[in-house]
Amino acid sequence: MAAQTRNVLVWIMILQVGYFLSGCMPRLPVRTGKKIQEDQLQALRPGETTKKQIFGQFGAPMAIAGKGEIVAVLSPTAWTGNHLKIGNHEEIDSNPFIELFSDHPLSEYHRVYYYYSSWSTGTSYFFLLGTHETSKTTLDRLWILINEKTGMMEDYNFKKGS
């Protein structure tokens, strides 16, 4: 009987040690860009909102793209597995930005102002026999068509991240 009790106590101690050696550690959330609010989008009025008002609401854009240009865009900083991937400048073709507004008659004066808001979180789980990491990044993107000659916003396109 004493041996049986001792075996039970040993297993209880092993489980307790395992419990104390396991756990989770949330990582600090990381944001790139300025958060895009719904009320800011509702205030955008094609033909009425000026470039100055856009800068007042959203600040400087991440990129300004004209037709046929190559632009440098800062990629979001995000958790990937157990590493923080720091954003860097990537050169991209601006035509996909322009194509979002292909239903507009575009001139040499049209530019697309690109904004995004990235929010990345992660958690590390520690178990007795190993670890597991999770991460999630949400990316909201906003493209605003500006006529530089008139200084007016003509349209915008918003894509909410999931």
- Give pLDDT, residue 49: 96
Confidence at residue 87, expressed as pLDDT on a 0 to 100 scale: 86
Counting residues of the chain whose pLDDT is more than 70, the rounded percentage is: 83
The residue-averaged pLDDT of 114-125 equals 86
Q: Do 63 and 115 touch, CB atoms closer than 8 A? A: no
pLDDT averaged over the chain? 85
Contact (CB, 8 A) for 44 and 150: no
Burial of residue 123 (number of CB atoms within 10 Å: 0-12, 13-18, 19+): middle
Structural tokens at position 50: 């000026």
The mean per-residue pLDDT over the stretch 36-52 comes to: 94
Position 43 pLDDT exceeds 90: yes
Binned at pLDDT 50, 70 and 90, residue 7 comes out as confident
SS3 122: strand
Tell me the whole-structure pTM to 2 decimals. Answer: 0.78
